Amino acid sequence: MTTDPPSPQSGASSMSHPEIPAFGRVPEWGRAPEGSATRKGLERLWETEPGWRGWLSTVDHKTIGLRYLITAFVFLLMGGVEALVMRLQLARPNATVLTPEQYNQLFTMHGVTMIFLYALPVLSGFSNYLWPLILGSRDMAFPRLNALSYWLFVFAGIFLYSSFPFGQSPNAGWFNYVPLSGLEYNTGPNVDVYALGMVLLGASTTVGSANFVVTLLRMRAPGMSLDRVPVLVWGTLTASGGNLLAVPVVSLAFFMLWLDRQFGTHFFDVLNGGRPLLWQHMFWMFAHPWVYAVVLPAMGIVSDALPVFCRRRLVGYTPVALATVATMIIGFIVWIHHMFATGIPALALAFFGSASMVISIPSAIATFAWLATIWTGRPVFKTPFFFFAGFVLLFVIGGVSGVMTAAVPLDWQLNDTYFVVAHLHYVLLGINVFPVIGGIYYWFPKFTGRMMSERLGKIGFWVMFVGFNLGFFPMHIAGLLGMPRRIYTYGADMGWNTVNMITSIGSFVFALGVLVFLLDLIYSYKRGPIAGDNPWDAPTLEWSVSSPPPPYNFATIPFIGSGHPLWESRLGHEMPSEARSELIEGYILDHGREALATTSLSAIPDAIIKMPSDAYSPFYLGLFSALLFAGLLLHVWWFAGACVIGIAASLIAWMWPERTLGQREPYPSVQEGGALG
């Protein structure tokens, strides 16, 4: 069997016009004929009400996914503007663009925005939109919980930024170390805003992660066993599992800090038996796995999309999937490498230093898989390919600089210098932003039904790629020259003038590249050429439905026989005739809002799930939760109590039984083998 998808046509090394798939035809999975009773019935059951009512009440995963993407990009732009202002301050010695307190707040909000309000939410946007389509499902397992996670995310971002106009934003760094963030050194509401905002944001992340885990376990198409799940799903699943363990830890830490500041507890007060180092342990127990949570789904995007442009399957699917899981597992035992300079015992230094080096092995497996896929494939040099290939280089640079800091003696020298800032940006910006933008170019036809510009896309890539490396690579040199991180200004005789000027110029060049991408995005949304349903000739299920997809996703629940459903016939995995017959006859599921549940391991159908309809309760639950935290911040206790009542009412409305639209006679059970639909 050949490793490449054989083409029934000649010229397989290049893609045809976007309106005409390069190979074969798209299977008729998920489609209902125009004007058919099935199509009209499913649209009536699943479509969102137009107008503001639908805008507030929708639980459609596609709408929520796009909202995540747009909102996260708004925060990316805000964080980018903050970074540019800081680079103006640091471009020249003894600059006075910002006061020290303004710089502290800007620096902190930049970190909070990019790490918490952009990096993971943008990946949640991809996963929310794509997971049910990739898995062959009608929606996520818990649609209302999905909507709640978005509203909590939005209100948490508004809560954090509401302090910005008043000059009371978080100001102790995104790591918020005590005792600097304690009441004795920071008396304003700045740290309280951060603490309560992070607890609210943690609730969003937790409910969203639980939804992803259950969706993967129960909502896959029949035949999609775990060894056929796309790597993007493995990446998001692993990140979600890590978040379920890590986010409660940091939420508890922020809540304990808030109690110290507001009610005189002494969790972190050394004079009263508390432990300041406890904060660092609890924070980095969360923050280091979080690094992988914002990287692994991005790696999954590359692992699934890059092979499409190489015209072959991913080399080493199983090792890459296992490496994805192993990365998160090892990530939970390396947090102390952020604390090597805190007086940790030598035995702990040796153990955690070794673990920090071992974690490079899974990353190396994925890197060699990508390189082998490119090397043995027939690359098609479209814009997404450039972003994915550029990501591989940035991934290597960021990974190597990370392994360097795993060596304890070297870390003692580089700790709290700009070398660490450079590493952080290569990991959290380069390894996240480039796959994200490449993913937008790749899935934009599915989102909108239109193609983005190849010319503008390639121009934007090269401007971003050059600007990124020009801006952040010199930070390594600044760190080796002794420039400390979190510095407000510096003297002209320190020897850092040139590298800082180059870094500032590179930052603005990178911002120009992002601007080119945004212009391309806006123009293509209005005037881009019609894409067709599968312009890239991709193998996964989301390309088997129309672009953009219908409200119900699939008119007929698909059966699959391999990890590349749309390439099955070319790879010799044609599904049996009896399965194809069942595909045509059954599992339409139009007796109300319904989805098919399958077993966790082998994806065998075993239940029909009644899905909830659109509801206002997730919006109001998120709103009252945010208002509750505002009442706690302002010490308006009666208002906080009223918000608790609002939360309780929202939960009652959420759980209130509803009459199912279009309910008819019940189906025979899946186990009875009755023909459904």
Domain end marker among 527, 542, 557: 527
Shared domain check, 314 and 208: yes
Domain edge (last residue) among 527, 549, 577: 527
Is 180 inside any structural domain?
yes
Based on the fold, state whether residues 164 and 299 are members of the same structural domain: yes
* Co-location of 252 and 399 in the same domain: yes
Residue 364 lies in a domain: yes
* In contact, 152 and 134? CB cutoff 8 Å: no
The answer to the question of residue 600 being in a domain is no
Note whether 168 and 223 are within 8 A (CB). Answer: no
Q: Is residue 79 located within the same domain as residue 194?
A: yes
pLDDT at 2 > cutoff 80: no
Is the Cβ–Cβ distance between 629 and 163 less than 8 Å?
Answer: no
Q: Which of 479, 511, 527 finishes a domain?
A: 527
> Does 171 lie in the same domain as 293?
yes
Alpha carbons 72 and 205: distance in angstroms, whole number: 14
The one-character DSSP state at 557 is -
**For residue 41, is it within any domain?**
no
208 domain-assigned: yes
Cα 675 from Cα 99, distance rounded (Å)? 71
β-strand 594-598 against 605-610: which pairing, if any? Answer: antiparallel
Check if the beta carbon of residue 106 is closer than 8 Å to that of residue 78: no
CATH of the domain at 447: 1.20.210.10
Q: Is the same domain home to 644 and 509?
A: no
Side chain identity, residue 48: T
Helices and strands (H and E) in the chain: how many: 22, 2
Task: Classify 324 as helix, strand or coil.
Answer: helix
Cβ(57)–Cβ(615) under 8 Å? yes
507 and 631 in a single domain? The answer is no
Q: Are 270 and 140 in the same domain?
A: yes
In-domain check, residue 10: no
499 and 639 housed in the same domain: no
Question: For residue 121, which phi and psi values (nearest 5 degrees)?
Answer: -60, -35
State whether 499 and 632 are in the same domain. Answer: no
C-alpha neighbours within 13 Å on the C-beta side of residue 355: 20
3-state SS, 568-595, equals CCCCCCCCCHHHHHHHHHCCCCCCCCEE
So what's the pLDDT on residue 580?
46
Query: 26: pLDDT confidence band, cut at 50, 70 and 90?
Result: very low
Residues 232 and 368 grouped into a single domain = yes
- Residue 595 host element (H or E): strand 594-598
Q: Are 383 and 454 in contact (CB under 8 A)?
A: yes
Residue 662 lies in a domain: no
What's residue 36's pLDDT?
Answer: 57
Q: Which residue's entry shows tokens 């760190």?
A: 479
Neighbours of 555 (CB within 10 A): 24
Q: What is the pTM of this model?
A: 0.91
Q: How far, in Å, CA of 519 to CA of 530, rounded? A: 18
- Name, of 29-38, 103-112, 553-562, the range with top average pLDDT: 103-112
pLDDT digits over 614-650, tens only?
999 999 999 999 999 999 999 999 999 999 999 999 9
Range of the domain at 643: 623-656
- What's the average model confidence in pLDDT over 435-446? 96
Is residue 667 one of the residues assigned to a domain?
Answer: no
- How many C-beta neighbours within 10 Å does residue 345 have? 8
Query: Please, are residues 138 and 592 in contact by the beta-carbon 8 Å criterion?
Result: no
Question: Residue 188's Cα: distance from chain center in Å?
Answer: 33
What pLDDT, in 10s, does the model give residues 44-95? 888 888 889 999 999 999 999 999 999 999 999 999 999 999 999 999 999 9
Do residues 290 and 433 share a domain? yes
The pLDDT-based confidence of 271 (bands split at 50, 70, 90) is: confident
**Domain count along the chain:** 2
> Distance (Å, rounded) from C-alpha 129 to C-alpha 60?
9
Phi-psi region for residue 416, left (φ > 0), alpha (ψ -120 to 50) or beta? left
